[in-house]
Structure formats: structure tokens, C-alpha cells
Amino acid sequence: MRKLSVFNSISLDGYFTDKNSDLGWAYMNQDKEWTDFISTNASGDSEMLFGRVTYEMMKAYWPTPAAAEHLPTVANRMNSASKVVFSRSVKESDWQNTRFYNGDIVEEVRRMKSQTGPDMIIMGSGSIVQQLTDVHLVDAYQFIVTPVVLGAGRTMFEKITEPMQLKRTTVREFGNGNVLMKYEKV
């Protein structure tokens, strides 16, 4: 069975987007150690799952020359990876290896998890994370806690209907102040 993970940056006060849905704060503390980690972390072969908003944000950057120049390994991975976009309004794209699904997200992810293939990862896409968390389809959560306080925004779990117990599997501190924390379902 394929595994499903979440990978998101969160602020010290628990937000994954600021009050304007901006994520720029998550990219402020760039240094060599951090970019090396991001490049290494992007080397896997996971299939990427996105909601429309996150997909459009990713598509606006990763296929560009600026992305290829700034983070070539990550840009190559983002562009070549298999991508599934859950959207009722967008049906096609010129970003390679992208397919769209406009039906029941929960049923589709259940179907995908039961198939053979690479593990799957959700980046951003808070509403999808919430829907799949509520039905226990997410196997692991990876958070980059960024040393910034936003004061307002959206939390990753603001609409979860019941408490969720997790066990921490990894903690890694970076010189730029970011902290990677990985959790799995209990």
C-alpha cells in the first residue's frame, strides 16, 4: 500500500499561510545548509498531490528559468514529477506529468493508496490535508517550523473534527532557525 505524507512550512504561531494566503515568509531564511537539504529532500520519487491554489502557485514558479537557476535540483524534480491536481475548475495544464481529478478526493486517494506505485506527498493544499486527515488517510506529517510569527492566517488543522494522536519520528535543527519535525500516525 502506498503511503501519503504532508510536507508544509508552518510559522511559530502555527500558520501555514499568512492572512493574505501568502507563503513568502517560508522562504526568507535561505542559506547553503537549507538549500542543500531542500535539494536532497526533493530527490525522492513521490507523486505530488495538490489543490488548485497550491498547484497554480507551484506552476507559476517551478517551470521558470529563475527556478532552474536558483534551485536546479528541486526545479527538475518538481517539473518531472507525477502531479495530481484536485480541482473542479481547472481541467488541463501545460506543466508536464500533470493530471486533474474533479471527483470525490477521499475516494480517489483511497483508490490511489491501494494501488502499487510511488508514495504520495501533499505540499500546501490545506483544505485537502484537512479532508484526508479527518478520514485517517495521511500516514505522516513533515513540518518545517520557521522562526516567524504571523499573527493571523490559516492553520493546517483548523477544521479537524476530532483529536489526532501522532508520534514524533525526527527532529532536525538548521542554522537558519528552521526546524524539521516529522510525525507519524499512532
Residue 183 lies in a domain: no
Q: CA dist 55 to 79, 83, 102, Å? A: 12, 9, 14
Residue 123 lies in a domain: yes
Q: What is the CATH number of the domain that holds 96?
A: 3.40.430.10
Q: How many domains does the chain have?
A: 1
Q: What is the pLDDT of residues 34-58, one digit of tens each?
A: 888 988 877 678 999 999 989 999 9
Residue 170 lies in a domain: yes
Residue 92 lies in a domain: yes
Domain that holds residue 119: 4-177
Residue 137 lies in a domain: yes
Residue 182 lies in a domain: no
pLDDT at 43: 66
Residue 184 lies in a domain: no
Q: What is the pLDDT of residues 83-128, one digit of tens each?
A: 999 999 988 889 999 999 999 999 999 999 999 999 999 988 888 9
Q: What is the pLDDT of residues 122-180, one digit of tens each?
A: 988 888 999 999 999 999 999 999 999 999 999 989 888 888 899 999 999 999 999 99
Residue 58 lies in a domain: yes
